[in-house]
Amino acid sequence: MNIFAFSPGPIEIGVVLVIMLVLFGKKLPEVGRSLGKGLVEFKKGVKGVQDEVDINVDAEARLQIEKEVEKKEKKEEEKKEENTQEENKSQ
């Protein structure tokens, strides 16, 4: 059995619109306006959370890169020390 079998046709949509007009009447523009404002606020909230997540991800990536650079620098210093010790031994 397919649970997605119901899809409203033009008659059903018309019935819903008539019921909305009867119930809300003159207040329908106000209802639409408040729904629009609510949607805008929701989008702003989602955008704020998304920006915050992006900032945190960027900060974590930056820290990881800095750690990798420090490891490479440390290895290079160790190699230089080994080379200078070998040169000192050979002299």
pLDDT in tens, 43-69: 999 998 888 888 888 888 888 888 899
Indicate if the pLDDT at residue 5 is higher than 80: no
Tokens 């031994």 identify what position?
Answer: 89
* pLDDT over threshold 90, residue 39: yes
* Span 21-31, pLDDT tens digits: 888 788 878 88
**Could you tell me if 32 and 25 are in contact, meaning their C-beta atoms sit under 8 angstroms apart?**
no
For all residues of the chain together, what is the average pLDDT?
A: 85
